[in-house]
Amino acid sequence: MPGSETIQRENTLALWKALKQDKAALRLRSAGESGSWQAVVVDVRTRKRKLYLIVKPSEQLCAALTGSTESRLLLEFTDRNKVPYSCEIDDFKLTESDIWLAIPETIERHQRRKIFRLEAPSGSELSLNIKGVDCTLLLIDVSINGALGLMSHLNPRGERSILGQQGQTIPDAVLIFPSSTGTRRILISECTIRRLEPNATTGKMQYALEFTAIDENNEQLLTKLIYEYQREYLRRRRKTR
């Protein structure tokens, strides 16, 4: 495949262990279906000389595989450096709580897409709910794969709250971008807190989030907006030279 590199299974153990440590989200596609489903890595094991990636499936994935005659799954994921990988799984077992995916002899590492991390336009926010608390992040920057923002939430005593923890997954967040033609909203099906620390300037809690699940339509819209803002940023910079 153009723009990709084939990696042998014996050279991938560190990659799978890093996914386990990060509790990384993967995307699984049925070779015979158009849909895709999320799963989270929970373990890496060797059994009868086979290397298995054990994942916690979503309810939708369990329902799709239960009673299915499908014999192949397409596995897609990104590593810590945002490099995308894919492989075809032709040996998998569905248990009561997990799916065991037998790692194939080779996987594909794809050429890294250039990601423009954009200073967020003024007034941009990420609306989310962390353990039942509605809150808002005031965005510092945003990219196709994630965002950095400051928590604006205060607890009932007026103190800054520390909500969530590193590695926590949050469903159904909404990116909000103001514009002259009206507010633009993008649904992020799932995001994960990758870093959580006080901002050195304001003291507010600063969250680095990875967008671990987003449907195709919202991903295309976000990509379009990022490039629109990028062109506007570059246009303004040229004018100041």
Res. 241 pLDDT band, cuts 50 70 90: low
Q: What is the pLDDT of residues 83-97, one digit of tens each?
A: 788 899 988 888 888
Phi, psi of 71 (to 5 degrees): -110, -5
Percent of the chain at pLDDT > 90 equals 22
Q: Are residues 81 and 128 in the same domain?
A: no
Q: What is the pLDDT of residue 199?
A: 82
Q: Is the pLDDT of residue 188 over 90?
A: yes
Domain end marker among 110, 140, 173 = 110
How many domains, in total, are found in the chain? 2
* Integer angstrom CA distances of residue 163 from 79, 133, 154, 189, 190: 26, 8, 10, 19, 17
- For residues 11 and 105, state if they share a domain: yes
Q: How many Cα atoms sit within 13 Å of 211 on the Cβ side?
A: 23
Residues ≥6 apart with Cβ < 8 Å to 29: 35, 36, 37, 73, 74, 76
CATH of the domain at 218: 2.40.10.220
Other C-beta atoms within 10 Å of 234: how many? 11
CATH of the domain at 82: 2.30.110.10
Q: Give yes or no: residues 124 and 219 share one domain.
A: yes
Q: Which of 74, 92, 110 is the last residue of a domain?
A: 110
What confidence category does residue 232 fall into, taking pLDDT thresholds of 50, 70 and 90?
confident
Q: Indicate whether this model's pTM tops 0.95.
A: no
Mean pLDDT of 207-221: 89
With bands split at pLDDT 50, 70 and 90, how would you rate the model's confidence at 160?
Answer: low
Distance, in Å, from the CA atom of 77 to the CA atom of 25, rounded to the nearest integer, reads 7
Asked whether residue 38 falls in the same domain as residue 125, the answer is no
**Structure confidence at residue 111 (pLDDT):** 58
Place of tokens 């007026």: 158
- 127 pLDDT band (50/70/90 cuts)? very high
Pair (154, 234) in one structural domain: yes
Name the more confident of 156 and 27.
27
Q: How much is the average pLDDT of 174-193?
A: 90
What domain range is 101 assigned to?
A: 4-110
- Assess whether 180 and 102 both reside in one domain: no
Residue where one domain finishes, among candidates 62, 80, 110 = 110
Q: What is the distance between the terminal CA atoms of the chain, rounded to a whole angstrom? A: 42
